[in-house]
């Protein structure tokens, strides 16, 4: 879908003994992440019935990684929507500008890590769907 992408990170492990030594996943800006990271936050302890998000960003780019457990992400434009299941720490979801997102079905112990291209700025958020729809139609058809 436009302005979104599933990213697959390296999973460095000993295939013979990964149960014992575990996994290592490196992430570098300019390689796996297509922007410089200026902010990191994580979301955890979310009830399975909760649904978060309900907004878009005008400019912000982010990569979402579910470090433990799983979570579903609805990504949506006025024309299209998709649900992405994040259930592995070696998988990421890039979300660029003007994509509506909702996060739901957080599993028990789910921890969602987010790498963001800019510092927190409430004026970059579009939290009203009708306002989002109007700006997104202009953005995607310009
Ligand atoms: C997004 C999804 C995936 C801050 O003070 N600093 C921050 O860096 C962030 C992200 C939030 N906040 C404050 C703003 C609100 O008062 O924390 C409160 C909860 O934020 P919000 O309701 O926006 O949380 P989510 O889970 O709906 O959305 C968050 C991000 O805000 C958003 O950018 O794409 O996660």
Give residue-wise pLDDT tens across range 25-57: 999 999 999 999 999 999 999 999 999 999 999
Minimum-distance ligand 1 atom for the alpha carbon of 119: 8
Residue 142: pLDDT above 90? no
Grade residue 1 by pLDDT with cuts at 50, 70 and 90: very high
Q: Which has the higher per-residue pLDDT, 87 or 18?
A: 87
Q: In the Cβ-directed half-sphere of 91, how many Cα atoms lie within 13 Å?
A: 14
Query: Is residue 55 annotated as a catalytic residue, yes or no?
Result: yes
- Mean pLDDT, rounded, for 55-62: 98
Q: Which of 38, 55, 119, 141 is catalytic?
A: 55
Taking CA atoms only, the protein residue closest to ligand 1 atom 27 is 53
d(CA 77, CA 70): 23
Residue 23: pLDDT above 80? yes
What one-character DSSP code corresponds to residue 12?
B
Whether the pTM exceeds 0.85: the reply is yes
Give how far the C-alpha of residue 90 lies from the chain's centroid of Cα atoms, to the nearest Å: 13
Taking CA atoms only, the protein residue closest to ligand 1 atom 20 is 53
Residue 17: pLDDT above 80? yes
Q: Which has the higher per-residue pLDDT, 55 or 19?
A: 55
The mean predicted confidence, pLDDT, of the chain is 97
Scanning the structure block, which residue is given the tokens 């433990």? Answer: 68
Residue 102: pLDDT above 80? yes
């Amino acid at each position: 879908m436009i302005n979104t992408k599933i990213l697959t990170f390296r999973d460095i492990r000993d295939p013979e003994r990964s149960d014992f030594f575990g996994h290592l996943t490196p992430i570098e800006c300019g390689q796996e992440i297509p922007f410089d990271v200026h902010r990191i936050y994580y979301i955890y302890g979310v009830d399975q019935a909760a649904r978060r998000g309900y907004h878009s960003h005008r400019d912000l780019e982010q990569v979402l990684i579910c470090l433990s457990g799983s979570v579903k992400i609805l990504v949506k434009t006025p024309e299209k929507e998709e649900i992405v299941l994040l259930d592995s720490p070696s998988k990421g979801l890039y979300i660029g500008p003007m994509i509506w997102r909702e996060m739901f079905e957080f599993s028990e112990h789910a921890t969602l890590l987010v790498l963001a291209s800019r510092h927190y700025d409430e004026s970059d958020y579009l939290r009203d769907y009708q306002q989002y729809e109007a700006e997104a139609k202009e953005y995607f058809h310009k």
